[in-house]
């Protein structure tokens, strides 16, 4: 008799687990989205799913998850189901992390202030840094840098719901450290700076000076030639950065004469920090400049630049592309 009861119990148990593994659960709506937050446990998820009428009861889900060793593998994210799943398939998805990815785009040439504004505007991220001073953000990132500018690599970052702006900053900072370390390790010989941070500063200037990929190495050569000769860089983007909120959209003569740590018309050498987030092409240009003796360049008005080795040639280019073009 006991044996029959045991066999009957095992058969019922097997049937119940078969239902768990193969029977499709009803979806509350045709496309069901479930937000699984960071810190959720297997038990809390099971009870929540049962409350939403996806599970008949939470105990089997919890028991099977523990039996399979999945209790510590719950992954936060936003999960979307357009077809009925079995409870086992559902368990597989939330422990494998098959969530709908969200994205944040960090664009080359962004300043750190613009970077933070973009993150603050992202409604999916949890905001842990909003309103904090830059130095407080750096401390949370474990950085002792004096400036956050340029320390983050511009890219498209995918994340799950429940991730924070700080999580994304950590990834962008780690990405820049990897990229910068790689290009610095393969740098050309004889560069007029001694550490990767200075290369990062120059890369940020290159990023702001030209959007044309084929000009970046040439722009880098101009600045590197000037550094070698002890000439001032005289680059407008650094002056604009130094003006900060005082920049009105037009660069005036008084701005070029106003001394700030970033005014490369009044101060020699590189500015004290990057002025933006440079992309990989600008990083590579900063350590692999073109084989050029050019010391000057001027905008042609079509997005490209004319490069010159002598001041007289530069003055002629300025007359041709700037003065004559704007003379009625």
Domain positions in the chain are 19-96, 102-180, 189-323
Q: Which residue has the higher pLDDT, 221 or 80?
A: 221
Over 80: is that where the pLDDT of 26 sits?
no
User: What pTM, to 2 d.p., does this model score?
Assistant: 0.77
19-96, CATH topology level: Dna Ligase; domain 1 (3.30.1490)
Sign of CA dihedral 88, 89, 91, 96: positive
Range with lowest mean pLDDT among 51-55, 96-100, 273-277: 96-100
117-143 per-residue burial string, b: 16 or more CB within 10 A, e: under 16: eebeebeebeeebeeeebeebbeebee
**Region of 104 on the Ramachandran plot (φ > 0 left; ψ -120 to 50 alpha; else beta):** beta
* pLDDT of 312 higher than 70: yes
Q: 17: pLDDT confidence band, cut at 50, 70 and 90?
A: low
| pLDDT value at 192 more than 70 | yes
Task: Give yes or no for a contact between 77 and 100, defined as CB atoms under 8 angstroms apart.
Answer: yes
What are residue 266's phi and psi, to 5 degrees? -105, -20
User: pLDDT grade, residue 145 (50/70/90)?
Assistant: very high
Check pLDDT > 60 for residue 5. no
Nearest to 29 by CA among 10, 54, 11: 54
Query: Picking from 18-32, 140-154, 226-240, 253-267, which range would have the lowest pLDDT averaged per residue?
Result: 18-32
């Amino acid at each position: 008799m006991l044996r029959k009861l045991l066999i009957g119990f095992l058969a019922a148990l097997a049937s119940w687990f078969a239902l768990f593994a193969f029977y499709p659960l009803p979806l509350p709506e045709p496309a069901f989205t479930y937000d699984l937050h960071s810190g959720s446990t297997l038990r809390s998820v099971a009870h929540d799913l049962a409350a939403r009428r996806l599970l008949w009861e939470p105990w089997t889900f919890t028991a099977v998850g523990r039996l399979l060793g999945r209790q510590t593998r719950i992954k936060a994210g936003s999960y979307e189901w357009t077809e009925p799943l079995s409870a086992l398939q559902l368990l597989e998805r939330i422990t494998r992390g098959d969530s709908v990815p969200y994205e944040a785009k960090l664009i080359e040439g962004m300043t750190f202030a613009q970077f933070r504004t973009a993150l603050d505007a992202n409604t999916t991220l949890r905001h842990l840094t909003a309103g904090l001073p830059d130095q407080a953000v750096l401390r949370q990132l474990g950085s002792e840098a004096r400036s956050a500018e340029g320390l983050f690599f511009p890219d498209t970052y995918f994340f799950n719901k429940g991730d924070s702006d700080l999580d994304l900053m950590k990834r962008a900072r780690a990405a820049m450290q990897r990229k910068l370390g790689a290009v610095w390790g393969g740098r050309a010989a004889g560069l007029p700076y001694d550490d990767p941070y200075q290369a990062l500063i120059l890369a940020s200037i290159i990023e702001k000076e030209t959007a044309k990929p084929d000009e970046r190495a040439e722009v880098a050569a101009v600045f590197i030639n000037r550094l070698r000769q002890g000439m001032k860089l005289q680059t407008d983007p650094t002056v604009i950065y130094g003006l900060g909120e005082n920049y009105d959209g037009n660069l005036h003569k008084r701005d070029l004469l106003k001394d700030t740590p970033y005014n490369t018309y009044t101060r020699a050498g590189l500015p004290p920090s990057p002025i933006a987030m440079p992309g990989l092409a600008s990083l590579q240009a900063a350590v692999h400049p073109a084989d050029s003796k050019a010391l000057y360049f001027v905008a042609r008005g079509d997005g490209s630049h004319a490069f010159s080795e002598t001041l007289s040639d530069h003055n002629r280019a300025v007359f041709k592309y700037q003065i004559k073009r704007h003379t009625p």
